[in-house]
Structure 1
Amino acid sequence: MRFNPAFPRFHIPLCLLAIAACGGSSAKDEGPNNPPRAGILSLPSGWNTIEPGGETTCARGDPFEYLVRPGTVNRLIVEFRGGGACWSAATCSPGDDIFQETVGDDPLTTGIYDHDNPDNPFRDWHHVYIPYCTGDIHWGDNVATYGEGSSAVNVRHKGAVNVRAALDWVYANVPAPEKIFVTGCSAGAYGSILWSAHLREHYKNASVVQFADSGAGVITDAFFNDSLPSWKPEGAYPMWIPGLDPAELVNLYVLYEKIGAHYPDMRLSQYNTVHDEDQIFFFSAMGGGGAEAWSEAMRASVDHIEASTPNFSAYLAAGSAHCILWRPEFYTLESGGARLVRWLDALVNGEPPPSVACDDCGSP
């Protein structure tokens, strides 16, 4: 997916949006019966591009920006874009196309972005869309050098810096949302689980639901020990949670367990296909096995979270497609007798649904 260049572009100081905090107003028709519209409601309808500047950056030094779409209800989506990852000279060299290295122009018109579809549980919600261009699953805070000599390449793994800039804007401009849906596809799935804890800690009175779209966290020990440290993600970990040991995060289920136990009112979830081609590709690139090895490890990880975390639900679909949030099939996909969009609606707005899995998952 790529951003639509027709989106309005703004470089808006935080103060001008959080009008109440500035002690002023920019509302054209302000009056006793029409109070000023502050924060996110002061934005034009549709998608707005915000350029935070400061220390934010993409992997090669290109500027970072994020999108905000005001809604009509006091509910908020915080979404993290996907787009691969890089951790070595081979994966981080320019032109390798293994990760999204600039902010693109995504159309944001289908799937969860179809705001005219009456089946969309989120059609009226505020939506903050955080792009991804740092190769570090939204966790990093480092400038790493890969390779040597004339072939050396520097990568700005500043995903956590970019996220904090976007969340600072959210905190200032959406002061008390009733509900928050924290989600993301692929690399954004890992952003969703990590940063959901930060959002829950900040918005203590909000109902927070997390949904990881196609990010099961199946990695190799070698990747965790030798490659992930180049991102320096430690500063993003929710270390206020008792018992959270970064050394144990080679198993992503630990993050789900610790967040779920610390915030039992949260709802945590994952969506995967049984032979997700992209997740299998990256597992193999890390030195792991093939499709069956990844699928077996994915199922074992999900089973582990289900057994230890009562506020977790999983949705497993047949096939090998990667990510569902942006696809038109978001509204038609069924697995285990449950239609995904209805299952997700229950997760967010009703009683927590049980986990579901494909009856005949098939082979890769």
Structure 2
Amino acid sequence: MTRRWIVLLAALALVLVAGAVALRFSAVKGLEWTRVVPAGDCRCADGSEFAFWERRADPAKVVLFLNGGGVCWDATSCAFTGEHGESDFYDWSSRGVEPENRSGMFDVTRSDNPFAEYSYLYVSSCTGDAHLGNASQAYTPQLTVEHRGYVNGTAALDHLARHYPGATEVVVVGKTAGSVAAPIYGGLVADRLPGARVTVFGAQSGAWPDHPDFNAGVLDARWGAYKAVPAWAVDELAVRDWGVPRFWSQAGRHDPQLVLGRFDFADDPHAASELARWTSGSTLDVITANEAAIEAAGVRLHSYTAPGDDHGLFEFGKFYTIKVRGVRLVTWLGALIGDAPPGDVGP
């Protein structure tokens, strides 16, 4: 082979490699995130800076993703221990909780991802209050926790309304503890963007309790949630009567156009393990009772319950492989955000 041909082949190889890199960069570029630091009184539990993340795609379709991150309500569980702002109980700063280019619902290259074309606002919890709190709580003379989850979350909502005023579809997705307040945020989105179709999909908080002591002692006394949320979310309910399942019924009654759905693993050992003192019966028993109470209030709650003791969903390949009674979760979820919400699926 002559030197001329060797040079030509080498040049062609460089062109092909450059093309492959460009294609890969183009695909990855769609997953890039922009860090947004809102103004106002936003902060994490330790008083440090709060931020959320944005991925801009179709401005008419938006996912408001309320990340998990654990919860706390006493000096032990709320202590600022561990590294990178994370303890065994909750995330107390925004260090290390930024989104990654993950799999699951964040793999926008998959044709079966119902959110592939959506813009995302990714709101992590760093306040130990399930995106609900507005209180500065002194647990000891050395430990003051800023439970400002509701302040942080509504700052992200303000960004949504300001930068996506023409949105026609908004899906509020809540992960674990982040799904507790998801229906309240769904109602708030509907208030801010009345022209949008709003769907709420909360995953893995179906077993959270409706117990008077938890409602008054944690939601209100520790986190200040009862006083923080809008009037329609309380609607003259007494503090001890205002429990997590009622977030769904209050939101559905406030805006009957909301589409509400939830997902749980039937025997998830982590779903509400820290709340055991306020619950009784199996995880599935609590989930079933909560859903019955919500629907008894006249609110339709679409449900998908998978068998087993698994945990985790949105960032994993199982988001696409879970199938119960012949119905794939991702197909069911596509119907939930579509024009014909699906029937319930269970083990």
Partner of 2:261: 269
3-state DSSP of counterpart to 1:279: coil
Paired with 1:199 and 1:248, the residues of 2 have a C-alpha distance of 26
* Cα separation, partners in 2 of 1:45 and 1:211, compared to 1, 3 Å: closer
Report the alpha carbon displacement of residue 45 of structure 1 after superposing the two structures with TM: 7.1
Greater mean deviation of Cα atoms: 255-264 or 237-246: 237-246
3-state DSSP of counterpart to 2:114: coil
| Partner residue of 2:123 out of 120, 127, 130 | 130
Q: Check the 8 A contact 1:218/1:298 in 2, yes or no.
A: no
Partner of 2:47: 61
| Partner residue of 1:203 out of 178, 182, 193 | 193
Q: Check the 8 A contact 1:249/1:255 in 2, yes or no.
A: no
Q: Check the 8 A contact 1:140/1:160 in 2, yes or no.
A: yes
* Cα separation, partners in 2 of 1:237 and 1:187, compared to 1, 3 Å: same
Paired with 1:309 and 1:315, the residues of 2 have a C-alpha distance of 19
TM-score by length of 2: 0.83
Q: Check the 8 A contact 2:106/2:315 in 1, yes or no.
A: yes
Partner of 1:105: 98
Paired with 2:275 and 2:79, the residues of 1 have a C-alpha distance of 19
* Cα separation, partners in 2 of 1:242 and 1:221, compared to 1, 3 Å: closer
Q: Check the 8 A contact 1:220/1:283 in 2, yes or no.
A: no
Greater mean deviation of Cα atoms: 339-348 or 160-169: 160-169
Paired with 1:254 and 1:65, the residues of 2 have a C-alpha distance of 29
Partner of 2:214: 223
**How many pairs does the alignment contain?**
310
Paired with 2:307 and 2:111, the residues of 1 have a C-alpha distance of 26
* Cα separation, partners in 2 of 1:196 and 1:98, compared to 1, 3 Å: same
1:147-206 Cα distance to aligned partner (Å, 9 max, x none)? 3x5xx4110001111112211111111112011101110111023111111111111111
Matching residue's letter, 2:213:
A
Matching residue's letter, 2:34:
N
Paired with 1:142 and 1:221, the residues of 2 have a C-alpha distance of 20
Q: How does 1:47-126 map to 2 (within 5 A)?
A: 47-72=33-58, 74-95=60-81, 96-103=87-94, 104-126=97-119
Paired with 2:260 and 2:30, the residues of 1 have a C-alpha distance of 32
Paired with 2:317 and 2:245, the residues of 1 have a C-alpha distance of 29
3-state DSSP of counterpart to 2:121: strand
Matching residue's letter, 1:127:
Y
Q: Check the 8 A contact 2:205/2:272 in 1, yes or no.
A: no
1:334 counterpart = 2:323: yes
1:297 counterpart = 2:286: yes
Paired with 2:267 and 2:325, the residues of 1 have a C-alpha distance of 16
Q: How does 1:16-55 map to 2 (within 5 A)?
A: 46-55=32-41
Greater mean deviation of Cα atoms: 190-199 or 340-349: 190-199
Greater mean deviation of Cα atoms: 135-144 or 95-104: 95-104
5+ residue gaps, structure 1, are 1-42, 359-364
Q: How does 1:213-292 map to 2 (within 5 A)?
A: 213-216=203-206, 217-218=208-209, 220-228=211-219, 229-240=221-232, 243-247=235-239, 249-284=241-276, 287-288=277-278, 292=281
Report the alpha carbon displacement of residue 307 of structure 1 after superposing the two structures with TM: 4.3
Paired with 1:80 and 1:214, the residues of 2 have a C-alpha distance of 13
Q: Check the 8 A contact 2:104/2:315 in 1, yes or no.
A: yes
Paired with 2:177 and 2:234, the residues of 1 have a C-alpha distance of 26
* Cα separation, partners in 2 of 1:50 and 1:137, compared to 1, 3 Å: same
Q: Check the 8 A contact 1:53/1:63 in 2, yes or no.
A: no
Partner of 2:173: 183
3-state DSSP of counterpart to 1:55: coil
Report the alpha carbon displacement of residue 251 of structure 1 after superposing the two structures with TM: 3.5
Report the alpha carbon displacement of residue 295 of structure 1 after superposing the two structures with TM: 3.0
| Partner residue of 2:152 out of 158, 162, 168 | 162
Report the alpha carbon displacement of residue 355 of structure 1 after superposing the two structures with TM: 0.9
TM-score by length of 1: 0.79
3-state DSSP of counterpart to 1:98: coil
Q: Check the 8 A contact 1:59/1:156 in 2, yes or no.
A: yes
3-state DSSP of counterpart to 2:330: helix
Q: Check the 8 A contact 2:32/2:101 in 1, yes or no.
A: no
3-state DSSP of counterpart to 2:318: helix
Matching residue's letter, 1:136:
D
Greater mean deviation of Cα atoms: 233-242 or 202-211: 233-242
Report the alpha carbon displacement of residue 73 of structure 1 after superposing the two structures with TM: 5.3
Report the alpha carbon displacement of residue 135 of structure 1 after superposing the two structures with TM: 0.4
* Cα separation, partners in 2 of 1:53 and 1:101, compared to 1, 3 Å: same
* Cα separation, partners in 2 of 1:225 and 1:235, compared to 1, 3 Å: closer
3-state DSSP of counterpart to 2:284: helix
Identity within the alignment, % = 26
Q: Check the 8 A contact 2:216/2:240 in 1, yes or no.
A: no
Matching residue's letter, 2:44:
C
Paired with 2:30 and 2:124, the residues of 1 have a C-alpha distance of 20
3-state DSSP of counterpart to 1:107: coil
Q: Check the 8 A contact 1:283/1:294 in 2, yes or no.
A: no
